Amino acid sequence: MDQQFSSQTKELIAKSREVALELRTPYISSFHFFLADCILFDQQSALRFVFESTEHFKKYYADYKAAQEVNVPHFKAIDVLPLTLEAERIIKATSKDQLQHKHPEIMPFHVMLAAVRQPDSELLALLHPKENLYSKLEHFYTRLGLLNEKPSSVVNRVKDFFSASENKADINTELVSIDVPKNTNTAPPIFENVVRDKDDKVEMTLTGLAEGKNPNTYAVILVEKNGARKVPIIVGTFEAQSLSVAIEKMTISRPLIHHLFQQTILSMGYTLKESFIHSMTDGIFHASITLTKDDHLIEQEARPSDAMTLATMFNVPIYFSSKMLEQVKVEG
């Protein structure tokens, strides 16, 4: 067993014990695996799949702990906490995901995938909606670059992607919600210290895509139009595919989501004026798009990958916060 599990997975199981003790539960279940995963691995954990932000998770955890302190009696801490039967089945089932994704070791994300596949999983009972939850979580990890092999060429992968199956769906991972303890309130995520100075803009040129350091990740290279500063923005495989379609001006027999949105904008008499990557929180860039119709402007928040794809399709400027660019620019 120790030879199959990665050091991160061993750390996950150890942290699960700490979480169980803190929450006064005399056992370890899939729910404790999930909480430990959120605490330990943050950006590459299920936290980003379930919660809108780290602060949102911290509030949920604090609320859950407070509810346990009121409703659950104390118990004498023991050196070894037993796994529940469902947790034992999950641990055994991780090998299936490890083999399926051809990974040399069992990783924490294999534990999460196995957890949502078990019908009696304590974690599954808390997550909703449950439809296609395993598939959605699998695609989420793929977008993080944790699953599947990296293609040799983004453009070739895009062409292969569409030639292989005309009916393959465009995947767009959505956040799932999680049940919270009674008598607690979970506020929507609040991004603090986010500067959105509309005058702090510098126009950028999208010069291309480069393979990222991690598997299935790509860097979108933006270069200052009238300067030398540049910045890479890391995206996943699906985002890179969509952007490549726009850059290469590929003709697709069936419209993708960006084509659909473009046609919807135009059919309503609007057009895209610009995209603006305006801020960053916890290492994640935030962007907006501006639609215009006569003198009417609509500003809508968007993922940077979507904002850049739409700007490329509409052939309009991509702006970046000048102050932020000075902080995140790379040399060479």
Q: Supply the DSSP symbol for 295.
A: T
Domain 7-178 has CATH 1.10.1780.10: yes
Structural domain boundaries of the chain? 7-178, 201-328
Cβ contact 282:53 at 8 Å: yes
Domains 7-178 and 201-328 share a fold: no
Q: How much is the pLDDT for 271?
A: 95
Q: Is the pTM of this model over 0.75?
A: no
- By mean pLDDT, which of 110-114, 183-187, 244-248, 251-255 is the weakest? 183-187
Q: How much is the pLDDT for 306?
A: 93
To which CATH superfamily is domain 201-328 assigned?
Bifunctional nuclease domain (3.10.690.10)
Cβ contact 60:178 at 8 Å: yes
Report, as an integer, the average pLDDT of 149-163. Answer: 44
Q: Is 63 exposed, middle or buried (0-12, 13-18, 19+ CB in 10 A)?
A: middle
For residue 272, give the 3-state DSSP assignment: strand
| Long-range residue pairs from 292-300, CB within 8 A, at least 24 positions apart, any chain | 293/268, 293/269, 297/273, 298/270
Predicted confidence (pLDDT) at residue 315 exceeds the cutoff of 50: yes
Q: How much is the pLDDT for 179?
A: 58
